[in-house]
């Protein structure tokens, strides 16, 4: 099995103004796949489709080699899921939720659950309704990890949490992955967080998958170039010109953001009578912003 | 798995169950307070039966209310979380619903048993006038069936979405509107009454609520 999640041409309409369109995702086995996108881009809807909570009007979904939603119980038995909004029964205590949840999973690992309890410093006697946001997040993560899943699906798991809790949760996930070789599908709009842990990245915007590639390729391929003397119209560049800021001041040059950059491409600028002054690596967040900007507006190529 | 579901349902409806046990136990005892007449006149026997009959309405109301409360508490927490948690569990939806249904049914047993014990005690302590008989077992059985029926109906409605509930209300509303229009046009106006009669009288499905709930009868 090369992909733990595979969707083909998914379509789902949510209301009048939003639609998931032609969504084809490939999450490689053993990868940590960051699912990026601005708020309202369709990340949570996509995850609901992957978890069998919504039914696509078109297309197919395979999770852990089985079709969703037909094989939902078998898939969910091997998948740890942390939803965007915690949904646990608020009147139960932490201990009661744990026992309730464990009763549904044959692979439940009490030793791991106890170990995470200690690490997350949770109080078993507290009611769910009395937990702070951070405690609820940690409990959700504990429940997902103690299932011993082959796949973790995390929908904005650290959104709104303080850095200490975020760090504890991310470390717990990484520890688990290193022990079990499980795959992780994690959605977030906290780009910096994903940059550190993911080896694959997929970017959603307005219901469509903008791009999907290894993190390294994503990061290394997007550059900010400072160019002087470039003609107004540039033809057939060997890279993808994502944006071009022509506000040249005091000879500082134009700023171009490009994708698919390789060092030998410097020669291109000599060919068009321009001069390349500087090549700057963009971090994931800058690359993400530029990618979305070009996806939403026509390409800046002259 | 069932044990865990039963526990959650018990926790959510334990106040309802505890109160209903008290009411179920007390109801038959209160209804036969006047049964201690050793040498009753004919008038007193009729008065006794009338009193028992008056109380009998409450068994039906109690069974329907109990079914409603146990059914709604079974789904309330899942509705609150928009069923996300239940849907993320590795179990088919129908199986989950059946487990919840079974757990609620089991919880109904407590007030049923309490009513049966209460009815047995009430009739054992009372001096029943000659010509009259006590029916504690039949009353408890009728109560069990009525509570289970009410529970089943309300469970099915509660299990659905808001849209399902809207459909049910729409059907009832359409019936009422049709009735009003038929009456206004001078045509047959007893549509709702006729349907209602069909449902609550034998062999209608809800006849159990309108039949005789007499603990002591001829």
Is the CB of B84 less than 8 angstroms away from the CB of A83? yes
Please tell me the predicted confidence (pLDDT) of residue A300: 44
Closest residue to A91, CB basis, from B12, B84, B85: B12
Which residues touch A13 (CB under 8 Å, ≥6 apart)?
A19, A20, A57
Helix (H, G, I), strand (E, B) or coil at A23: strand
Q: Are A180 and A148 in contact (CB under 8 A)?
A: yes
State the ipTM, two decimals. 0.81
Partners of residue A257 on adjacent β-strands? A224, A243
* Chain A residue with minimum CA distance to B89: A76
Please tell me the predicted confidence (pLDDT) of residue B180: 76
Please tell me the predicted confidence (pLDDT) of residue A251: 61
A53 touches chain B (CB under 8 A): yes
Taking the CA of residue B61 and the nearest CA in chain A, the distance in Å comes to 29
Q: Check the CA dihedral B63-B67-B70-B72 and report its sign.
A: negative
Tell me the average pLDDT across A93-121.
Answer: 93
A144 touches chain B (CB under 8 A): no
pLDDT, tens digit, 9 for 90 and up, residues A233-247: 887 888 888 778 776
Can you say how many angstroms the Cα of residue A105 is from the centroid of all Cα atoms in its chain? 26
A95 touches chain B (CB under 8 A): no
- For residues A6 and A66, what is the distance between their CA atoms, to the nearest angstrom? 10
Please tell me the predicted confidence (pLDDT) of residue A248: 54
Q: Are B149 and B205 in contact (CB under 8 A)?
A: yes
Is pLDDT at A202 greater than 80 in this prediction? yes
* Chain A residue with minimum CA distance to B10: A92
Please tell me the predicted confidence (pLDDT) of residue A59: 93
- For residues A195 and A32, what is the distance between their CA atoms, to the nearest angstrom? 11
- For residues A117 and A140, what is the distance between their CA atoms, to the nearest angstrom? 11
pLDDT band at A301 (very low <50, low <70, confident <90, very high): very low
Residues of B in contact with A74 (CB under 8 A): 90
Is the CB of A77 less than 8 angstroms away from the CB of B12? no
Q: How many CB pairs under 8 A join A and B?
A: 57
* Chain B residue with minimum CA distance to A71: B92
Closest residue to A104, CB basis, from B12, B81, B89: B89
Is pLDDT at A298 greater than 70 in this prediction? no
Closest residue to A104, CB basis, from B1, B12, B81: B1
Is the CB of A89 less than 8 angstroms away from the CB of B85? yes
- For residues A147 and A77, what is the distance between their CA atoms, to the nearest angstrom? 8
Is the CB of B90 less than 8 angstroms away from the CB of A103? no
Residue found by looking up tokens 């990618």 in the block: A291
Backbone angles phi, psi at B166, to 5 degrees: -65, -40
Taking the CA of residue A77 and the nearest CA in chain B, the distance in Å comes to 5
pTM: 0.81
Higher pLDDT, A156 or A299: A156
pLDDT band at A144 (very low <50, low <70, confident <90, very high): very high
Taking the CA of residue A244 and the nearest CA in chain B, the distance in Å comes to 45
Q: Which of A74, A85, A100, A150 should we substitute to test contact with B (largest number of B Cβ atoms within 10 Å)?
A: A100
Q: Which of B90, B93, B96 should we substitute to test contact with A (largest number of A Cβ atoms within 10 Å)?
A: B90
pLDDT, tens digit, 9 for 90 and up, residues A281-294: 887 777 778 777 77
B99 touches chain A (CB under 8 A): no
**Each residue's pLDDT tens digit in chain B (218 positions)?**
899 999 999 999 999 999 999 999 999 998 887 666 656 677 777 888 888 888 888 999 999 999 999 999 999 888 888 888 888 999 999 999 999 999 999 999 999 999 999 999 988 888 888 888 889 999 999 999 999 999 999 999 888 777 777 888 888 888 878 877 777 777 766 777 787 788 878 888 888 888 888 888 87
Closest residue to B90, CB basis, from A53, A83, A105: A105
Taking the CA of residue B65 and the nearest CA in chain A, the distance in Å comes to 23
Is pLDDT at A94 greater than 90 in this prediction? yes
Is pLDDT at A299 greater than 60 in this prediction? no
| Domains in chain B: boundaries | 2-217
A83 touches chain B (CB under 8 A): yes
pLDDT, tens digit, 9 for 90 and up, residues A28-66: 999 999 999 888 889 999 999 999 999 999 999 999 999
DSSP A133-150: HHHHHHHHHHHHHHT--S
| Percent of chain A with pLDDT strictly greater than 90 | 44
CA dihedral A92, B89, A205, A31 (to 10 degrees): 110
Q: Are B35 and B124 in contact (CB under 8 A)?
A: no
């Amino acid at each position: 099995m090369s992909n733990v999640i595979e969707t083909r041409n998914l379509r789902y309409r949510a209301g009048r103004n939003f639609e998931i369109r032609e969504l084809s995702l490939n999450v490689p086995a053993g990868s940590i796949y960051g699912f990026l996108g601005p708020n309202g881009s369709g990340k949570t809807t996509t995850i609901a489709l992957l978890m069998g909570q919504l039914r696509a009007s078109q297309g197919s979904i395979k999770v852990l080699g089985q079709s969703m939603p037909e094989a939902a119980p078998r898939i969910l038995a091997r998948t740890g899921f942390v939803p965007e909004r915690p949904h646990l029964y608020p009147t139960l205590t932490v201990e009661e939720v744990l026992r309730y949840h464990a009763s549904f999973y044959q692979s439940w690992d009490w030793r791991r659950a106890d170990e995470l309890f200690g690490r997350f410093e949770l109080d078993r006697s507290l009611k769910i309704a009395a937990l702070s946001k951070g405690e609820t997040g940690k409990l959700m993560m504990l429940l997902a990890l103690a299932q011993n899943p082959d796949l973790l699906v995390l929908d904005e798991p650290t959104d709104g949490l303080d850095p200490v809790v975020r760090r504890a949760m991310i470390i717990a996930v990484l520890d688990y992955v290193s022990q079990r070789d499980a795959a992780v599908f994690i959605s977030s709009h906290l780009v910096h967080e994903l940059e550190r842990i993911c080896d694959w990245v997929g970017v959603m915007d307005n219901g469509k998958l903008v791009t999907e590639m290894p993190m390294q390729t994503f990061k290394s391929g997007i550059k900010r170039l400072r160019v002087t003397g470039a003609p107004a119209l540039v033809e057939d560049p060997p890279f993808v010109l994502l944006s071009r800021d022509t506000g040249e001041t005091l000879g500082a040059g134009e700023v171009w953001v490009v994708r698919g950059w390789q060092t030998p491409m410097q020669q291109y600028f000599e060919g068009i009578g321009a001069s390349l002054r500087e090549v700057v690596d963009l971090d994931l967040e800058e690359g993400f912003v530029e990618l979305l900007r070009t996806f939403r507006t026509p390409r800046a190529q002259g | 798995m069932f044990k865990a579901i039963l526990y959650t349902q018990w926790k959510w409806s334990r106040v309802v169950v505890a109160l209903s046990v008290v009411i179920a136990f007390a109801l038959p005892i209160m209804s036969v307070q006047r049964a201690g007449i050793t040498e009753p006149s004919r008038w007193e026997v009729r008065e006794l039966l009338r009193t028992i009959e008056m109380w009998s309405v409450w068994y039906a109301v109690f069974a329907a209310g109990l079914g409603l409360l146990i059914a709604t508490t079974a789904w309330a927490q899942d509705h609150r979380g928009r069923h996300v948690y239940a849907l993320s569990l590795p179990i088919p939806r129908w199986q989950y619903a059946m487990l919840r249904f079974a757990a609620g049914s089991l919880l109904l047993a407590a007030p049923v048993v309490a009513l049966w014990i209460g009815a047995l005690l009430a009739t054992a302590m009372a001096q029943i006038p000659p010509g009259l008989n006590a029916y504690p077992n039949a009353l408890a059985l009728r109560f069990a069936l009525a509570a289970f029926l009410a529970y089943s109906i309300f469970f099915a409605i509660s299990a659905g979405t808001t849209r399902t509930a809207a459909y049910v209300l729409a059907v009832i509303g359409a019936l009422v509107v049709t009735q009003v229009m038929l009456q206004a046009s001078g045509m047959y106006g007893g549509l709702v009454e006729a349907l209602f009669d069909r449902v609550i009288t034998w062999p209608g499905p809800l006849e159990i609520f309108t039949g005789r709930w007499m603990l002591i009868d001829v």
